[in-house]
Structure 1
Amino acid sequence: MRRGTPAARDRFVRAMLALCEKKDINKISVRDVLEESGAARQTFYNCYHDINDLILDVPFALAETCDEGLYTQDACTALFCTARQERGYFGQLPHHTGQNCFRDSYLNKLKEIYYHSVFHGSPCEIAAQKAQIDAYIYGVVDLFMEWCATGMQDDPQWIAAVIFSMKPPFMTEDPLPDYCAHQGAFSLEA
């Protein structure tokens, strides 16, 4: 993930979202994405290792378009509203059975993002903070996946309030802008 040109990656993310509206996420292949996007196979592999890599990248691509980052309750609410708008994709995530478990891959990527932004202290301090971040991230991802699996009925503002009530107090800076700059972020064009 995080390779290729922003325009190519945008095409693939949009293609995946469109395909999920009409097809089971477990049945979507690289060939389907290529047909939907009109891109060449090599262009896909310049951006992603496989279809599971693209599936993992979609939520991050959408989060990167949020002007408020990740660390505000309003931004979190906006991301849940985006998930509702892209129900075809997000509604299928809890049932995705691809080679890489989406939940585990998503957790690992979130840990990488948060660890990159938070850890600047002593090893003892870092170990305690890692444990708090891990507990927070597992709670957030499990809450999100359950919300997706149950039809996204609960109000996004309520979900965001729950998420922000769990946030460790030392997590004060939004990790996404710095992490995206480090990784070479892109945004989806309207």
Structure 2
Amino acid sequence: MSSAIISSAGVISRSRLSGDYDYHAISATRQQVLSEWNQRRNYLRGSASDWLPTIRSALSAIRDHCGKPDWDGHGEIVVSDEVITNADKIVTTLFTLAQAGTPAPDIVPEADGEICLTWTQDDAQTFSISIGEQGKINFAGQFGHRGSIHGWKPTDTSSPNALESSLQEIAEYLENLYPPVARRRAA
């Protein structure tokens, strides 16, 4: 992304010395620029939390292993290409929305043909989403002494902006599990 796009589309706040920037888009192409900024910001983290390629590899393995009926010998339903495509779009969007330092989720194909992503902080703090063909996400979370949540949420995968809007609430639940950490500058 060129600096011309950044300077004409928004402002960067916080000290550049800390390396932690908040980008606030203000142009007509706000959503597109913000989405690109979030993706690039996450790839610039340069840490073990850059988990998107790992999850995409796992989705490919699920496609190979679970693309036929009875894939584990217990009557499982096929994990369809549509489910894999939906999961990839959702994972990509959640990666851009998640706070820096959010670890990779566990990814598991389910017997009903859906894909489950689970983030676990400890025994009392976990959050899972289940992605299928129906255009919705089923979710459940336990957040220790802060309570629990469960439900479903429709997703709109028609465009990146629509999907990002659909997943804002899910990203907030992830932030409950992995709140932003204040960074201190070295002396």
Please give the TM-score of this superposition, normalised by the length of structure 1.
Answer: 0.29
Please give the TM-score of this superposition, normalised by the length of structure 2.
Answer: 0.29
Greater fraction of residues in strand: 2
Give the greater-gyration-radius structure (CA).
2
Pick 1 or 2: higher relative contact order, CA cutoff 8 A, min separation 6: 1
Greater fraction of residues in helix: 1
